[in-house]
Structure 1
Amino acid sequence: MNRHGLMLALAVQGAALAQSAVAEPFADGTWTLLRLTDARGTVTPQGGSAPTLTLAGTRFSTAGGAQVSGSTGCNRFTGRGVFTANTVRLGPLASTRRACAPEVSALEARFLNVLSEARGLSFSPNLLVLSTGRERLVFGNRVTAFEASRLFAEWRLVGAVGDTPPTLRLEPGGAVSGTTGCNLFRGTFTLGGDTLHFSPLATTRRACPSPELQRQETEYLRRLERVRRYRVSGNGLTLILEDGSEQTFQRPVNGG
């Protein structure tokens, strides 16, 4: 083969490899459930109660499979799974055991049942469908790892009173924690595109040292319950409430 022929062959081979790489499934990110269909019918979850599915490592074929985690709308679950271009097989899923409202528990059971039995996969950048054949989970509103990496951090409330401003810490597993300036709190959150919802937050019961700090704590927790969307810009985080008002946070400088 002459030099020109060799270069042409290499170019063709490179194009084929590139096309193969593009075709390879890459569903990594956090997905929000848009629709569930099973023997009981079809349900469309709303708001912060919508289950989520977080996948990491779906591009690579490894013995351990991809990391799988998420929220049922009440409890957290984790496990592993093997993904191909059109199939999925999940291993056993470990879940927390928090008590849920009856309607949330019913959705949780249906969601986990279809998820654990799913074998078919259909994927596009904006839609992920897992199916057992007749049963289907349709996910959308994906938050990519890059987008999530900008959000997962510890944030400090801007414009707070007192020497210890309220904080907010968001973690990849869906856990949220922080301080009100007086007390500690913790809970969970769900993501979907630019949407963000917090679960009811559990707090410690320490008395605030002043009425001003007590008012700040009450208002801070009240506003977190009403968060619906978020925006990250540089070192700043803006939480957008259901009424359109905003709460602004910044990352601590040098971790301080």
Structure 2
Amino acid sequence: MRPMKKNTMRRTLPLLGVAVVLSACLLAAGCTGQTPDGTDNETVQGTDLNGTAWDLLSYTQNGSMKDALAGTTVTLVLGENNTASGSAGCNAYSASYTLDGTAITFGPAVSTLMYCPIEGLMEQESAYLRFLDTVKSYEVKDETLTFFDENGTAVLVFGKHVPPQPEPLVGTDWTLVSYHTGDAIVSVIAGTEVTAVFEEDGKVAGSAGCNRYFASYEVNGTEMTIGPAGSTLMACQKEGVMEQESAYLGLLGTVKTFTIEGETLTFFDENGTRILEFAKAVPPQPEPLVGTNWTLVSYHTGDAIVPVIAGTEITAVFNEDGQVAGSAGCNRYFASYEVNGTEMTIGPAGSTLMACLNEDVAEQESTFLGLLGTVKSFAIEGDRLSLMDENGTAVLVFAKAETPASLPLVGTTWVLDAYHLDDIVMPVIEGTEITAVFDEDGKVTGSAGCNRYFASYNLTGSSMEIGPAGSTKMFCAEPEGIMEQESTYLSLLGAVKSYTIEGDQLELLDERGWRVLAFTAKV
């Protein structure tokens, strides 16, 4: 019932005695609760609002009620611990509240600080939170909740909230919207993304804003515990990102229960405090397997997920000709691969044979090359590539790398990594170096491993032809096979019909478009 204004109270006093008599008569007669016009009065005064949830239907504006914006949802959840929370349309908010009969008041609301570009949404949100602070009483009628201000004017009208069908916990891509730190709800830093994907095998992984993280989890009904999180160890320079990441990973360890309502996942601690709130993410369009520069983020060995050693880089580029190549951290590697749907096999990897002085880097390289041979399937989610073994375990996880600016063909010293011979990728013999330098005057020169060589070349766009090569006539006895390697290299130059450069990688291709010579720029 709305509070009556003072002038209304004065007019009512002379009728009070009549009202008392009338009430007694009605009670004696077993009154039916009907209004004077004979309709049922379904107004429920003083209904306990604790534990109820509502959606905003309208709010006051310029003396009349205005419908909430179409396509937006403003929610109010009145928790058992006298904390109200929900979505104000764009941002999440919370406030304390006090109930006394039909009287209700709200404490100052705190909210996240995101901006949503939908026309009128931020103005509606501001009005909603402002009116919430003016509420003094309420009325529930026909599953409609109305809040009144101190003058008895309706300021907010809600309909009973009907929870949408919840998204599944497992397999949904969740993006963090806000988190609780101290006594405040904090929105995620603009331009950063914190994510979580729960797998059926009891693993959760995602981005903590800078680093990739991974942890185990257990669920029993709505109860949940998340084990200590491991992560990669990169440092991000953007202000506040590392502090946000640390807070997020710490809060994961305090999770005790969870709820999913529609596309919102909420985690609570042992006190029932809402500590993390996620929204369902729309998976980005997957990057193509072929032609994308992939950088390894982590690999699975034993029962552990291990981040790549800081300061090292392991890469992979899958080409259309069924070859994959990249850096294994120390050496360049190359292998064939086959794909059938989401199935994948990778043939034995060859590599250059440089010595890695750091033992940990050498061990990481050996592990990576070994895991390539265990791959049986793959999945791409946005800019993430996961290679799985026969058990479905993600043994190698890559992220899309920004394509570096390509070095110029002319003037760069290119060092041969590998050459193709009878469909076999052959690494350059350890202890030998084959180079190529293309000059502006249409000459290519370099070392063929033993002798210096020289040839002319012609370019038309990406097409290239290299004339017959001449060379000095020295004989090198060691290492074994060096003269055969030199002869093969010089003959393959004559098979070149085009070239590609990606970053510091030069590939010379034959008339079929197959790679015959693969170089890396010399630093």
Q: Per residue, is there more helix in 1 or in 2? A: 1
Using the size of structure 2 for normalisation, the TM-score is 0.26
Name which one, 1 or 2, has greater alpha-carbon Rg.
2
Using the size of structure 1 for normalisation, the TM-score is 0.49
Greater RCO, 1 or 2 (C-alpha within 8 Å, sep 6+): 1
